[in-house]
Amino acid sequence: MNADYAARLVSLTTAHIADACIRVDIPVRCAPAGTRPLAAGARVAGRVLPARHAGSVDVFLEAFEHAREGDVLVVDNGGRTDQACIGDLVVAEAKAAGVAGLLVWGLHRDTADILAIGLPVFSLGAIPTGPLELAPRDSQALTSARVGEHTVSTGDVVLADDDGAVFLPDDRVAEILDVADGICDAERRQAERIRSGNILRQQVEFASFLDNRKRNANLTFREHLRTVGGAIEE
């Protein structure tokens, strides 16, 4: 993913991107609910740099050997909530390697020190204890990572913000961005009009939708929105 795409991504929200995926018929792949940044307002976008944790930091150090500037380290720790798999040293090393941020399917520790480093980190939360045991290393440890029900790889891009994280295929980024930009612009205009006194029901011609639905019970609100240029749901 080039720098221009990364800049455009971070100017949008995960909600815009998720809605755009629906619009262009791409499966929406989100990190599990509860994935949040350590620092409120943090945002990061970049190519996925996958790593499957097995109880030792060596997998992260090896991933950094192959990192590209602006990558996002996506850590698969199986969603475990009994141990942290990354701490301040891994985050500091990630920053030194040019990584743009970290997304962890699991927990972190050393919160204060990580915040001082200033690199965006997203996880399911914090716990004091580190890895509790070593496990056999997965054969896919550096080629893919599981995040909830989804498996992602270097062929994917991630955007994360206060709402969580969403993954999209690298070869569809341009298409998704164009649609997401349109959704963002439409929502911004609608919000400005609400503040000016033109309520949303008027903007989306909701009374007309209700009348049309009486004549066509199969008419959906999304279909109606597309005819009037609304951007509430997707």
Instruction: Report the 10 Å Cβ neighbour count for 105.
Output: 27
Q: Is 109 annotated as a binding residue?
A: yes
Query: Quick check: 176 and 159 in contact, CB under 8 A?
Result: no
Strand pairing report for 107-108 and 101-105? unpaired
- Amino acid identity of residue 20, one-letter, is A
Q: Is 110 annotated as a binding residue?
A: yes
118: left (phi over 0), alpha (psi -120 to 50) or beta: left
Q: Is 49 annotated as a binding residue?
A: no
Query: Which tokens in the block code for residue 110?
Result: 């050393």
- Tracing tokens 């720790």 back to the chain, one arrives at 77
Query: Quick check: 172 and 217 in contact, CB under 8 A?
Result: no
Q: Is 71 annotated as a binding residue?
A: no
- Identify the three-state secondary structure at position 130: coil
Residue 127 is classified by DSSP as: -
Strand pairing report for 121-123 and 150-153? unpaired
Q: Is 87 annotated as a binding residue?
A: yes
Q: Which long-range contacts (CB under 8 A, 24 or more apart) does 215-221 make?
A: none
Binding residues for Mg(2+): 110
Binding residues: 87-90, 109-110
Binding residues for substrate: 87-90, 109
